[in-house]
Structure 1
Amino acid sequence: MTLIDLRSDTVTLPSPAMREAMSHAALGDDVYGEDPTVNQLEAFAADLVGKEAALLVPSGTMGNLSALLSHAGRGQRVICGDECHIYYYEAGGASALGGLIYQTLPTEPDGSLPLELVRQALQPVHDVHTSEAGVLCLENTHNRCGGTALTPAYLAEAHALARAAGVPLHLDGARIFNAAIALNLPVQTLTQHVDTVQFCLSKGLAAPIGSLLAGPAPFIARARRVRKLLGGGMRQAGIIAAAGMVALTSMIERLAEDHANARLLASGLAELPGVQLDLSRVQTNIVRFELSNKALPVSTFVANLRTHGVLMGSMSGTFIRAVTHYGIERPAIEHTLEVVQKVLAE
């Protein structure tokens, strides 16, 4: 049985062009700064998102953690959403390894944080009893909100608040190129409103491994030291970087196909009895829905899909998530809808 794997866009396999580039990559020792392919990728990525410098890291989690530890000191606050990936899915690394304190704000359905609450959280501290704000974090697109995209206008307002308070704004842009494609904007229109940004090569862009952290050159120099502390210093990492170059030069525009397939899937699901889905929240490649029949456990529904060759994931025990990506074509979406209808009928 051929599986249709919609659990995440992290399950993508490298394209033939990536495999070819990896096999012929020029290599060196990246810890010494001597891997030419890594150096090429970092310079290209920094320019792409409008930043001075960039750093290749093994994962988005390490990229975000390197950013937080480079921006803030022990006892300072990481101001972020209560539904954000940094808080929800990154093992509390900023607290465990950096002595930082998470201050969570309520996340709006579109993935934004209420700006008045952001302003209050950023206020300078004049009381010795209160910890200082260290860094403000946003997420674009927002995973747990269903792949929603923050607009340039919102990012500009949040950035203005952070600048006024003297606090850096870090963006978890794991899927920032999905946001740019969905909004039909150059990615720099979004990244210009943040001080630093992390983005993944290994999700919709289909590289096998790697993320990039971009920002001012002095910041990236600090982050390079933190990456080493975290065990992320790699040697002949040009093999990874070669696939990353293909991802950034040939896989961004095709994200629109994933968005179209997600819309097709969401529209079909919304027509099925037993499915609750807000189509306005389906903006990129993530489809998040609930079951009307609360007597049917999500775990059972997902297990039954698997028996028919379709893989989806559950979120918080009540939501199901399906993510379209490279390798998933329209016929797979049409078959998935048939399987969901069959499982609901069963």
Structure 2
Amino acid sequence: MRYIDLRSDTVTKLTQEMREAMLTAQVGDDVFSDDPTANELEQLVANMMGKEAGVFCPSGTFSNELALYTHCNQGDEVILDQEAHIVVHESGASPVISGVQLFTLESNQNRWDLEKLERTIKKRNLSQAGTKLISLENPFNGRVLPLDYLEKVYNIAKKHDVAVHLDGARIFNAATALNVDVKEIAKYGDTVSVCLSKALGAPVGTILVGSKEFIQEARMKRKQMGGGMRQIGILAACGKIAVNKMSKRLYIDHENAKFMEELFDEIPNIKIDKTQRDINMIFFDIDDDRKYDLHKYMLENGVKIIEYEGVFRFVTHYDVDRSDIKKVADLLKKFFS
């Protein structure tokens, strides 16, 4: 049975072109930096982001945590949003791996009061940890942070000699929504984490990019974390297709999400959060207690969604077309009728 899977854009199956590229990929031992395809991918993504170098990581969590581990020493402070992926979805890894203190700053729709941000930055003394890093995320929960905001945060960080890491798991979606080259976003991070399996369809991988010096150190830290891999060219071959080709079709997913929004607006009691509608995601609630059983009903009818957790999130991707979206809307109407 074919399921319509709206849980995430990580559920995509690799394309036929990716499968064929895996068969013919040149490979080598990546621990020795001998894998030519991995080397090409790392430099390709670094160039796209306007950075000097990159390193292949097995996941976005790994990449983010590697960035913190490389930027910081034990006892350093990292400022980030209270809802940041690093805080909420990375299993408490930061204090375990890096020994850092996470200072979570409250935001309004994922944007900080910048005066409060600047007051929050600390210098190390006998009583308090020093702020070493500010971590941003773009997009953030379906919202795209504008360039002028990123620039202001970056300038505040530089004023206080603090580094900036950008969790750019879906940075190509952000660039698509802003209609800018991805470099225009990436320039406001000293390091950037770029996921290949979110929205872009590759089966595995995230590239961490930054300066040559930083990435050289990160490569050593990656080995410590157990991320030294061997013939990863078979995966990197998919990553090259992901960033070169799949990144250019993301507007289709955004348009399909808009189509889904229009259909859902016709259904009584569905309340879509319009502030989270910048990319390929729909966040909504339903004023009906039957919503707690919706995931069971949808699964029985060939649609996979995440169980209600205070909000629903449906995600479009290249394995979902408009006929699928129409079916989903019809099922919602039927269930709540």
Assess same fold via TM > 0.5. yes
Which residue is 1:132 aligned to?
130
Query: Is 1:155 the equivalent of 2:147?
Result: no
Equivalent residue letter for 1:99: G
Which residue is 2:276 aligned to?
281
Which residue is 1:117 aligned to?
116
Which residue is 1:205 aligned to?
200
Equivalent pairs: percent with the same residue?
39
Which residue is 2:186 aligned to?
191
Query: Is 1:170 the equivalent of 2:165?
Result: yes
CA distance in 1, matches of 2:311, 2:24: 43
Which of residues 270, 290, 293 is equivalent to 1:296? 290
Residues 1-346 of structure 1: matches in 2 within 5 Å?
Answer: 1-109=1-109, 111-125=110-124, 127-143=125-141, 147-293=142-288, 295-298=289-292, 300-314=293-307, 317-345=309-337
CA distance in 2, matches of 1:87, 1:280: 22
CA distance in 2, matches of 1:179, 1:122: 27
Report runs of 4+ in structure 1 exceeding 4 Å deviation. Answer: none
- The gaps in structure 2 that reach 5 residues or longer are none
**Shift of the alpha carbon at 1:314?**
4.1
CA distance in 2, matches of 1:103, 1:245: 36
Is the 1:179–1:284 Cα contact (8 Å) retained in structure 2?
A: yes
CA distance in 2, matches of 1:280, 1:96: 34
> Cα deviations across residues 202-230 of structure 1 (Å, max 9, x unaligned)?
11100000000001111111111111111
> Which secondary structure does the structure 2 equivalent of 1:233 belong to?
coil
**TM-score under structure 1 normalisation?**
0.95
> Which secondary structure does the structure 2 equivalent of 1:9 belong to?
coil
> Which secondary structure does the structure 1 equivalent of 2:248 belong to?
coil
Equivalent residue letter for 2:243: L
- The gaps in structure 1 that reach 5 residues or longer are none
**TM-score under structure 2 normalisation?**
0.97
Is the 1:261–1:330 Cα contact (8 Å) retained in structure 2?
A: yes
Is the 2:169–2:193 Cα contact (8 Å) retained in structure 1?
A: yes
Aligned alpha-carbon RMSD (Å): 1.2
> Cα deviations across residues 290-337 of structure 1 (Å, max 9, x unaligned)?
0112x3353x1222221111111246x210110101111111111111
CA distance in 2, matches of 1:151, 1:314: 31
CA distance in 1, matches of 2:222, 2:275: 39
CA distance in 2, matches of 1:277, 1:208: 30
Is the 1:227–1:233 Cα contact (8 Å) retained in structure 2?
A: yes
Sort the Cα spacing of 1:253 and 1:28 in 2 relative to 1 into closer, same or farther, 3 A: same
> Cα deviations across residues 91-129 of structure 1 (Å, max 9, x unaligned)?
1111012111111011322x222212221122434x411
Equivalent residue letter for 2:99: G
Is the 2:65–2:97 Cα contact (8 Å) retained in structure 1?
A: no
CA distance in 2, matches of 1:3, 1:206: 17
